[in-house]
Amino acid sequence: MKGSKGMRRRTRNFRVRPRDRGKISIRRYLQRFDNRDTVIIDIDPRYQNIPHPRFHGRTGRVIGSQGRAYYVEVRDGNKIKKVLVTPEHLRPIHS
Protein backbone atom coordinates (compact mmCIF):
# COMPACT_ATOMS: atom_id res chain seq x y z
CA MET A 1 0.00 0.00 0.00
CA LYS A 2 1.23 3.44 -0.89
CA GLY A 3 2.19 5.72 1.99
CA SER A 4 0.03 8.66 2.96
CA LYS A 5 0.97 12.10 1.65
CA GLY A 6 -1.45 13.91 3.94
CA MET A 7 -0.82 17.01 6.00
CA ARG A 8 -0.38 15.08 9.26
CA ARG A 9 2.04 12.45 7.99
CA ARG A 10 5.07 11.83 10.22
CA THR A 11 3.47 13.73 13.11
CA ARG A 12 2.95 10.80 15.49
CA ASN A 13 5.76 12.15 17.66
CA PHE A 14 3.63 15.21 18.53
CA ARG A 15 2.13 13.35 21.47
CA VAL A 16 0.95 14.89 24.70
CA ARG A 17 2.45 13.43 27.88
CA PRO A 18 -0.13 11.43 29.86
CA ARG A 19 0.06 13.91 32.75
CA ASP A 20 -0.85 16.80 30.43
CA ARG A 21 -3.68 15.11 28.54
CA GLY A 22 -7.16 16.61 28.29
CA LYS A 23 -8.25 20.12 27.47
CA ILE A 24 -5.67 22.86 27.38
CA SER A 25 -6.00 25.83 29.65
CA ILE A 26 -8.27 28.59 28.44
CA ARG A 27 -5.40 31.00 29.01
CA ARG A 28 -3.34 29.45 26.21
CA TYR A 29 -6.35 29.35 23.87
CA LEU A 30 -7.20 33.03 24.39
CA GLN A 31 -3.67 34.49 24.54
CA ARG A 32 -3.08 37.67 22.55
CA PHE A 33 0.00 38.83 20.66
CA ASP A 34 0.96 42.22 19.27
CA ASN A 35 2.85 42.91 16.08
CA ARG A 36 6.62 42.46 16.44
CA ASP A 37 6.22 39.96 19.35
CA THR A 38 8.64 37.04 19.16
CA VAL A 39 7.00 33.61 19.48
CA ILE A 40 7.84 29.92 19.25
CA ILE A 41 5.65 27.65 17.12
CA ASP A 42 4.89 24.71 19.40
CA ILE A 43 2.38 22.38 17.73
CA ASP A 44 -0.31 21.02 20.04
CA PRO A 45 -1.71 17.77 18.57
CA ARG A 46 -5.01 18.06 20.45
CA TYR A 47 -6.25 20.34 17.67
CA GLN A 48 -7.01 19.09 14.20
CA ASN A 49 -5.93 22.29 12.47
CA ILE A 50 -2.14 22.50 12.85
CA PRO A 51 0.54 24.48 11.01
CA HIS A 52 2.87 22.50 8.77
CA PRO A 53 5.06 20.22 10.91
CA ARG A 54 8.23 21.67 9.33
CA PHE A 55 7.69 24.81 11.42
CA HIS A 56 7.47 23.02 14.80
CA GLY A 57 9.98 24.53 17.21
CA ARG A 58 10.80 27.48 14.98
CA THR A 59 11.05 30.99 16.32
CA GLY A 60 9.38 33.81 14.46
CA ARG A 61 7.93 37.28 14.71
CA VAL A 62 4.21 38.13 14.63
CA ILE A 63 3.49 40.39 11.66
CA GLY A 64 -0.31 40.46 11.54
CA SER A 65 -3.52 38.64 12.27
CA GLN A 66 -6.47 37.07 10.49
CA GLY A 67 -9.50 36.32 12.62
CA ARG A 68 -8.08 34.86 15.83
CA ALA A 69 -4.98 33.45 14.09
CA TYR A 70 -1.65 35.21 13.62
CA TYR A 71 0.77 35.55 10.74
CA VAL A 72 4.23 34.59 11.92
CA GLU A 73 7.34 35.38 9.87
CA VAL A 74 9.67 32.37 10.02
CA ARG A 75 13.05 31.78 8.43
CA ASP A 76 13.11 28.55 6.38
CA GLY A 77 16.61 28.13 4.99
CA ASN A 78 17.41 31.41 3.24
CA LYS A 79 13.76 32.32 2.70
CA ILE A 80 11.42 34.16 5.01
CA LYS A 81 7.99 32.55 5.06
CA LYS A 82 4.66 33.72 6.40
CA VAL A 83 2.80 31.06 8.42
CA LEU A 84 -0.78 31.38 9.66
CA VAL A 85 -0.94 29.91 13.18
CA THR A 86 -3.71 29.83 15.77
CA PRO A 87 -2.72 30.94 19.30
CA GLU A 88 -2.88 27.48 20.89
CA HIS A 89 0.20 26.57 18.81
CA LEU A 90 2.19 29.64 19.90
CA ARG A 91 4.34 30.33 22.97
CA PRO A 92 5.64 33.81 23.78
CA ILE A 93 9.34 34.48 24.31
CA HIS A 94 9.78 36.86 27.20
CA SER A 95 12.75 39.09 26.55
Q: For the segment 36-60, what is each residue's pLDDT rounded down to a tens digit?
A: 999 999 999 888 888 998 999 999 9
Is 27 part of a structural domain of the chain?
Answer: no
Is 24 part of a structural domain of the chain?
Answer: no
CATH of residue 72's domain is 2.30.30.70
pTM of the shown model:
0.85
Instruction: Report the C-alpha gap between 61 and 14 in whole angstroms.
Output: 23
Q: How many CB atoms lie within 10 A of CB 88?
A: 20
**pLDDT of 36:** 95
Is 46 part of a structural domain of the chain?
Answer: yes
**pLDDT of 22:** 84
Between residues 70 and 13, the one the model is more confident about: 70
Give me the percent of the chain exceeding a pLDDT of 70. Answer: 99
Work out the angle at residue 18's Cα, subtended by the Cα atoms of residues 89 and 21, and round it to the nearest 5 degrees.
45
Is 64 part of a structural domain of the chain?
Answer: yes
Is 14 part of a structural domain of the chain?
Answer: no
Is 25 part of a structural domain of the chain?
Answer: no
**Residue 16 confidence class, pLDDT cut points 50, 70, 90:** confident
Half-sphere exposure of 71 (CA within 13 A, CB side): 9
**Structural domain of 59:** 32-92
Give me the percent of the chain exceeding a pLDDT of 90. Answer: 60
Name the helix (H) or strand (E) containing 71: strand 69-76
24 residue type, one letter: I
Is 5 part of a structural domain of the chain?
Answer: no
What mean pLDDT comes out for the span 66-85? 96
Q: Into how many domains does the chain fold?
A: 1
